[in-house]
Structure formats: structure tokens, C-alpha cells
Amino acid sequence: MSGVRIEEVLLVAIVVAPALVGAALLGARVVRISSSNAGWLGAAVLAVMAVVSWPVVVSGVSVGTPFVAGSELGLAAGGPAVLLLPTMLVVATLVLTVATSEPETSEPRFTGLMLLFTSAAALTVLATSLPALLVGWELMGVASYALIGYRWADPRRVGSGATAFLTTRGADLGLYLATAAALAGGTDLSLDSLAGMDGGWRDVAAAGVLVAGLGKAAQLPFSFWLARAMDGPSPASALLHSAAMVALGGYLLVRLSPLLEGTSWAGATTSWVGVTTAVLLGCVAIAQTDLKQLLAASTAAQLGFVVLAAGVGATAAGTTHLVAHAAVKSLLFLAAGAWLHALGTKRLFALTGALRLWPALGALSGAGLLALSGLPPLSLWATKDAVLAGVREESLPLYLCALLASALSVAYALVALVILARPRRPRHDIGLDEEQPGTRAVDARVPIALAPLALAGVVLGLLTLPQVLDRVPGRIPVAPSTSELVVSSALVVLVAVGTGTWVLRRWDRCDEQASASSPVTGLLGSWLHLERAAHTLIVRPTLRTAAAAARVDDRIIAGAASGAARLTIRAARSVARLDDRALSGAVARTASGTLRAAGSSARGDASIAGVVQGVARGARRGGRAVRRTSSSGQLHRYYLQLVGSLLVVLVLVSVVVLIESSR
């Protein structure tokens, strides 16, 4: 075992250690740990893993063990994971640190689930083969189910978890399909071998991967699960819907971009789905009246840029956008959670001026919102422009749509920023405490944990400097030209000013109830009615079919079996009747006929009569013997048995005959 490198052990530990600690915390009755200690233990484990991840990604080691169907359960610190793994672990550490400040999210169960989730997410980014990826991918899904439905006594929240899990698992079936296609295509199921397949199976694999990635990344038409996922605790959203889960949907497509581009259609389809989501969900975000819903819609929209990058093959840029977005969005979700905790609401209307209440938190989240808007020179401006440069090279219509999407991202970020930064209303307590009693306090841990995220949100644009971007794994089609940067900056400023003015005016004149009444805002506010559509088109018909199937099963299929049994009994009865009346009558008549014939022949031939009488005597003796053996003395039962056995023999004989005759 001298050949085992320390980095290999650490690589395995990054996946295994959080899982083990998480599982132990879930069995907290066994380990008996207090709530606050559980939270700190979780944060500490993840902090160690985050530190450990640096030497691991620098060394680029890989390990593997045989798994199913000739594939490996392998881990490798390569590809986009080089940036994503440390990002994810750092974000998870900070999120768990903030989570310790609230009683609910410092319970061992919450920490345990977050650790299990992080472990699954780490496995997903490190996996080298489709089966290994699928393991992490699906475990991540079920952990998110448990986290979204964390408050299990509330059926609505549990239902939200189920919506998220069922929707993403439906899309995950694509990965099962891709695995089957990869095996049929003759690969060893490793991710790197997929692009090298040829023939129809490559298209099937690409389609499967595409569906799975779009589902997890909350792209259209799957986006609605992300809206329901906001029912989970805010720290869960801060990890799941910024740096992991949703982000890993984008990761999958970036990682397998060569496979998508290898087909004639998948690259373009990916790009267009991404840009459409970025535009439509951008509009949805503007129309939201709830801060977390706005952030969720913007997550789907921002992931649209990553998906777009995967479609056009600008994978290095896509990776930097994922990383920058993870920092910014986890910061904002944590801030929304802090305000919810303190003020008891996450409705934008009620949060007016919240930015001013706690200056440190306000400054950090203000920076986050500015970064989200894509204001130069903050991180998302730079990473998004790196993606756009790749898009422009690919197709002009796509580029124009992507510009529209960037304008929308300025708009929704500014809507939130302006409302949150306005002076408090005169009647400032309207709408407070409507979800939960607020504490009117923000723990010191919150700004401390948010500071590194805000810093990252400001400076991570450095990743797109040519000297750095060249070292990011993935393809860089082209660097953004100066004119592009000027155009996009001007666009940001124009839209920002426009939106700011519009929001200020609108919010002065009317409140949200009035504005939510128009059909367009209704459509956008409800996330394009996607959830209702899924219910109408899929869920309800399925449940109706299930009920109908159950009725058919009970009445017709089970009915046929018991009907056959009843028929058999009825047939047996009528055979018995036939036996009593017709058969015994016939036997009697035959007997008397025989006797008569015998009498006549006796007259003709005495010697034959002697024989006949001998046979008759024998038959009589046999009959008596039969009567003795048949305990009931009812001969018709005996006949019935005889007929039955004859039938069996007949079947067997006919089988034999058939076989013999066919030789």
C-alpha cells in the first residue's frame, strides 16, 4: 500500500467524511450531541474539507474502484471540479456557520442532512463515470427533498420537497437512459469516453444528459420546482440553490459539453433552452413580490447563462460564471434568511428599507445585489461577458437574446436593491412577522460569514482575465472585445437607471396588490403557470389513470380469476347433475340393452352367453369392489374423479404425442 498518495486519501475523505459525520448526526439519539455543538461540528468538518480540497485539486489525483457493468466508482479532481469543489465546500462551511445562529437550523438533523448533501454534491463533481455521477446526483436530490421538507409537520413544505424531488428525478431518468446508451455504444461508462461514441447511441446519451442537466439546473420547462424549493430553510437554499444542486445541473452540461457539441442538434438546443430560460425567468424574477422567490427565479435565469455557455462550448467561461454566481447567490439567500429571522417576513413590500436596519448586513447584501445586476467591474459582469463573447462567435440571434437576458438581470437586481435600500416607510411595521415572529436582531455571525462571499462577489471577475482564464479547465472560444465590454456596460447602466426610476415611481403610487392584478404580472408572478401545467398535464392524469387501473385490477383482472373459479364450480355442479341424470340413465339403458342383446344371443349361442355371463359376473364383482373403495358409496363422485384424472392424463399424453410426432 506504499503507492497510496496522501492526496488520494484526502480525495476520498472529502466525500466520505461529511457523509459519515452527517449520518452520525442524523442518529443524534445515538451520539447525543447538543444542538449548537452539532452545527459547529458540521461547519468544522466542512472547513477542514475545504482546506483539504486545495492540495487535492492542485495535485489533480484520481482514485477508482470497480462498480457495476464494467464501470468504475471513480473520483478525479479535474475539469470544472478544480474550481467548483473548493467553492462549494467554502460556501457550505459559511452557510453552516450562519445556520448555527438560528435554533431551528442548528439542530443535529439539519446539520446532518447538510453534510450528507455536501457529500453527495462532492461526489457529483468528482465522479469520473456515469454510474458514480448518478449516485451522487440522486443522493443530492433526496437530501434536498429532506431539506426542503425540513419542517415535516407542515404538509405544504413536505409537498414542496416532493415536488422538487419528483420533478428532478423525472429529469434524472435521462441519466439512466444515457448510461444504457453509453453501455450499448461500447464505452466503459466513463464521462470522458462519451463524446467519442458514434452512431445513434451518442444522440441518445446526449439527449439523456441534456434532460437531466436541465432538470437539476431548473431550466425550462422544469423551473417551477425551484419556486417550491423556497419553502425550505434559508441556509438550505443558500447552499442548494447557489453553489450545489442547481449549479451542478449547469456543471453536468459544462462537463459534458463535448458530448453535446458532438451531435448535430444538442449544442444548439442547449443554447436556446439556456437563453430562453435566462430571458423568461428574468421576467419572472422582476414580477416577484417575495425576496426569496425573486432570488430563486434569478438563479434559474443566471444558470441559463451557464447552460448557454455549455451549448456554445465556452466551458471555461461557464465555469467561472458558476463560481461567481455561487458566491453572490449564497450571500443573498443568507441575507434573505437573516431578514426573515429578524423581521418575520420575506415579502419585498414589507422589507422596504431593510438594507438600512443593520448596516454591515446591508452593505454586504447591497454589494451582492450590485454584483448580481452585472454592474462593471463586479464579478458577474465579467464572467457573463466572457460567456457572451463565446455566444457572439456562435450565432448573432443567440447573442441578442443573451443581451436581453443581461438587461433583465440588471432589472430584477435593481428592483430588489431599490426597494430594500429605500427609506423605511412611516408605518414601517406593516407586514412584519407575517410568516414567523421576528427577533429584530441579526447575529454577529451573519455579517462575518457573509463578508468573504461579498468579497468574492466583487473580485471574482479576475477569473476572466486572460492569464487566469487560460488555466481554468475548459475551452475558451474568444475573449470579449473592448467594444463588447463597452456596449454591455452601457446597457447595464441604462437599464439600471431606468429600472430604478420605474421602481421608485411605482412603489410611490401603488402597492403590490394593485400591480399584481394584470394578467401579465399574474403569469410572471406564478412562474408562467408551469406548476399548474405540470399538474394538469401530468400529475392529475397520472393519478386518475392510477385510480382507474386500481379499479380495473380489482374488478376485471381479479374478477376474471375468481370468475373462472366460480365457473369451474358451476361446471363441476352441472357435470355432477349430468352424471346423476343423463350418464347413469344412459348406463342403465346401455346395461338393459346389453342384457337384452345378451338374452337374444344366448338364445342364439349358449356358449357365447356363457362368456357374456362370465364378463357380467366379473363386472359385478368389480363394481362391488369399486363401491367398497369409494368411501361415500356415491359412485358419481368416483366418476368425476375419474374424468378429472383422465383429462390430466389426456393433456400429458397429447404433449407426449406432440413431441414424439414432431421428431
Partner 1 sequence: MLSALLFLPLLAAVLLLVPAVSDRVARLAFVAVALVEVVGVAVLWWRYDDPGTGRLAFEEQVSWIPGIGSSYHVGLDGFSLPLVAMTTVVFLACAVFALAEARRPRLQAALFLALETTCLGVFASADLIVFFVFFDLSIVGMYLSINGWGHGDRARSALQFFLYTFLGSLALLVGFVGLYVASESHTFDMVTLAADPPLQGDGAVGVLVLGAVLLGLAVKTPTVPFHTWLPPAHTDAPAIGSAVLAGVMLKLGTYGLVRIAMPMFPDALRAWAPVLVAVGIASVLWGALVALAQTDLKRMIAYTSVNHMGYVVLAVGAAGVVGSDGGTDDAELRRTAITGAVTQMVSHGLLTTALFLLAGVVWSRHRDYAMDQYGGLASHAPRFAALLVVAALGSLGLPGLSGFVAELQIFAGSIGTVPVSAVALIGILLMTAVLLRAVQRLITGPSGPLSEEFTDVRPREWVPVGGLLALAIGVGIFPRPLLDLIEPAAATVASLVAR
| Residues at the site binding partner 1, with contacts judged by CB under 8 A | 26-27, 29, 65-70, 131, 134-136, 138-139, 142, 145, 149, 152-155, 158-159, 162, 165-166, 169-170, 173, 176-177, 179-181, 183-184, 201, 542-543, 545-547, 549-550, 553, 557-558, 560-562, 565, 651-652, 655-656, 658-660, 662
Write down the least CB distance from residue 221 to partner 1, Å.
Answer: 16
Reported as half-sphere exposure (CB side, CA atoms, 13 A), residue 160 has a value of 21
Write down the least CB distance from residue 315 to partner 1, Å.
Answer: 26
3-state helix, strand and coil shares in percent for the chain, rounded to the nearest 5: 80, 0, 20
Write down the least CB distance from residue 155 to partner 1, Å.
Answer: 5
Write down the least CB distance from residue 259 to partner 1, Å.
Answer: 17
Write down the least CB distance from residue 260 to partner 1, Å.
Answer: 20
Cα–Cα distance list, 295 to 85, 286, 301, 337, 372 (Å)? 23, 10, 10, 12, 10
Helix (H, G, I), strand (E, B) or coil at 347: strand
Answer whether 331's CB lies under 8 Å from 235's CB: no
Write down the least CB distance from residue 511 to partner 1, Å.
Answer: 34
Q: Smaller CB distance to partner 1: residue 400 or 651?
A: 651
Q: Smaller CB distance to partner 1: residue 157 or 384?
A: 157
Which among 83, 159, 36 is positioned nearest to 445, based on CA atoms? 36
How far is the C-alpha of 142 from the C-alpha of 162, rounded, in Å?
9
Q: Smaller CB distance to partner 1: residue 174 or 390?
A: 174
Q: How many other C-beta atoms are found inside a 10 Å radius of the C-beta of residue 487?
A: 15
Write down the least CB distance from residue 549 to partner 1, Å.
Answer: 4
Q: Smaller CB distance to partner 1: residue 564 or 582?
A: 564
Q: Smaller CB distance to partner 1: residue 156 or 621?
A: 156
Q: Smaller CB distance to partner 1: residue 65 or 481?
A: 65
Write down the least CB distance from residue 645 to partner 1, Å.
Answer: 13
Q: Phi and psi at residue 73, in whole multiples of 5°?
A: -90, 85
Answer whether 531's CB lies under 8 Å from 227's CB: yes
Write down the least CB distance from residue 553 to partner 1, Å.
Answer: 5
Q: Smaller CB distance to partner 1: residue 181 or 323?
A: 181
How far is the C-alpha of 468 from the C-alpha of 262, rounded, in Å?
27
How far is the C-alpha of 262 from the C-alpha of 205, rounded, in Å?
11
List the beta bridge partners of residue 75.
63, 127
Which among 252, 206, 389 is positioned nearest to 314, based on CA atoms? 389
Cα–Cα distance list, 648 to 229, 572, 644, 645 (Å)? 63, 16, 7, 5
Answer whether 363's CB lies under 8 Å from 371's CB: no
Write down the least CB distance from residue 644 to partner 1, Å.
Answer: 12
Cα–Cα distance list, 407 to 73, 208, 421, 488 (Å)? 43, 32, 21, 9
Q: Is the dihedral of CA 250, 253, 255, 257 positive or negative?
A: negative
Q: Smaller CB distance to partner 1: residue 201 or 339?
A: 201
Write down the least CB distance from residue 139 to partner 1, Å.
Answer: 6
How far is the C-alpha of 195 from the C-alpha of 267, rounded, in Å?
13
Write down the least CB distance from residue 194 to partner 1, Å.
Answer: 14
How far is the C-alpha of 29 from the C-alpha of 34, rounded, in Å?
10
Please count the residues of the chain: 663
Q: Smaller CB distance to partner 1: residue 163 or 237?
A: 163
Helices (H), 100-129: 108-126
Q: Smaller CB distance to partner 1: residue 486 or 649?
A: 649
Q: Smaller CB distance to partner 1: residue 518 or 542?
A: 542
Q: Smaller CB distance to partner 1: residue 174 or 366?
A: 174
What is 263-285 written as a DSSP string?
SSSHHHHHHHHHHHHHHHHHHHH
